[in-house]
Amino acid sequence: MCPPNASSCPLHPPMGGNSCGVTPSHMTWADRTETMRLTAARLSKVLQLTLAVIKPDAVAHPLVLEALHQRILDNNFVIVRHKDLVWRTQDSERFYAEHSGRFFYQRLVEFMASGPMRAYILAREDGIRHWRELMGPTKVFRARYTSPATIRAQFGLTDTRNTAHGSDSVESARREISFFFPDFCVDEWMEREEPSFRSGQLHFDHQKQIHTLSAQS
């Protein structure tokens, strides 16, 4: 059960696909092809939720943000929720409280409150590991040499301005999802919606920019 008042921060301003809806019954051929591909990829594999954040350095460049959004879709992630937001300094301090006192803490806090960012709840089998592999190493220099096809290698600027964040464990995913999406209950989604998202046919709602269950599922 999720607590009625999950720990969260005020987010300014909440925008974007914060709720799922039923998709229209009509689908283009491209939509049907994508639906079949996603369905085949997900059969019998329990979906795991993770939090993904596109940081201010990437959101500042619309073409980069669009490329990263497409990279998520191309790698068979289900977009369960997403929102665009801007943090206050105190929001950033709370999220990174575990790093307080470390040499990079103040720089990181200030950077994450410096402009708009985008947060996603993503689902995929072994989603935490897959998203972290897609991001690549935290250190951009290392990413460019050891994992040149990753997000941080291709778009990262510095170890702080490294494009993306991802949860590193089931526990941190639960905590971070609650922080960014206080009205979303992981347990409830896993119990009530995960089986349908795993075995049903999905449609990508281009207006809401999230995946929804197709009307025939």
CATH code: domain of residue 140: 3.30.70.141
> Mind listing the pLDDT tens digit for each residue in 102-151?
999 999 999 999 999 999 999 999 999 999 999 999 999 999 999 999 99
Alpha helices in the chain (DSSP H): 29-42, 56-59, 62-74, 89-95, 105-112, 127-135, 140-146, 151-155, 170-180, 186-192, 194-199
Q: Which residues contact 8 (CB under 8 A, 6 or more apart)?
A: 178, 179, 180, 182
pLDDT of the residue at 88: 97
pLDDT above 70 for 213: yes
Binding site: which residues?
Answer: 55, 104, 132, 138, 152, 162
Catalytic residues: 165
Number of domains in the chain: 1
90-98: long-range contacts, CB 8 A cutoff, minimum separation 24: 90/9, 91/9, 91/10, 91/11, 94/9, 94/179, 95/9, 95/176, 95/179
Residue 33 CA neighbour count, 13 Å, CB half:
3
Whole-number pLDDT of residue 5: 47
Residue 168 lies in a domain: yes
pLDDT of 214: 84
In a domain, 182, yes or no: yes
Q: What is the pLDDT of residues 9-19, one digit of tens each?
A: 433 333 344 43
pLDDT tens digits along 27-40: 555 555 555 555 55
Residue-wise pLDDT for 43-87, tens only, equals 558 999 999 999 999 999 999 999 999 999 999 999 999 999 999
Is the pLDDT confidence value at 201 over 50? yes
Dihedral of alpha carbons 181, 118, 32, 135, sign: negative
183 assigned to some structural domain: yes
Report yes or no on 47 lying in a domain.
yes
| Rounded Cα gap, residues 102 and 90, in angstroms | 17
What is the spatial distance between Cα 37 and Cα 1, in angstroms, rounded to a whole number? Answer: 33
| DSSP alpha helix (H) spans, 43-185 | 56-59, 62-74, 89-95, 105-112, 127-135, 140-146, 151-155, 170-180
Across the range 83-98, mean pLDDT stands at: 97
- pLDDT in the model for residue 7: 43
CB contact set of 36 (below 8 Å; sequence gap of 6+): 201
Whether 16 is in a domain gets the answer no
Query: Under a CB-based contact definition with an 8 Å cutoff, are residues 137 and 143 in contact?
Result: yes
Provide, rounded to the nearest whole percent, the portion of the chain with pLDDT above 70: 79
On whether the pTM is more than 0.85, the answer is no
Q: What is the pLDDT of residues 138-184, one digit of tens each?
A: 999 999 999 999 999 999 999 999 999 999 999 999 999 999 999 99
Q: Is residue 35 in a domain? A: no
Report residue 82: phi and psi, to 5°.
-155, 155
Mean pLDDT taken over the chain: 86
Compute the distance between CA of residue 44 and CA of residue 199 in angstroms, rounded to an integer. 7
List the domain range (segments joined by +) for residue 192.
Answer: 41-212
Residue 106, domain member (yes or no)? yes
Q: Could you tell me if residue 156 is inside a domain?
A: yes
Q: Which residues are annotated as a binding site for ATP?
A: 55, 104, 132, 138, 152, 162
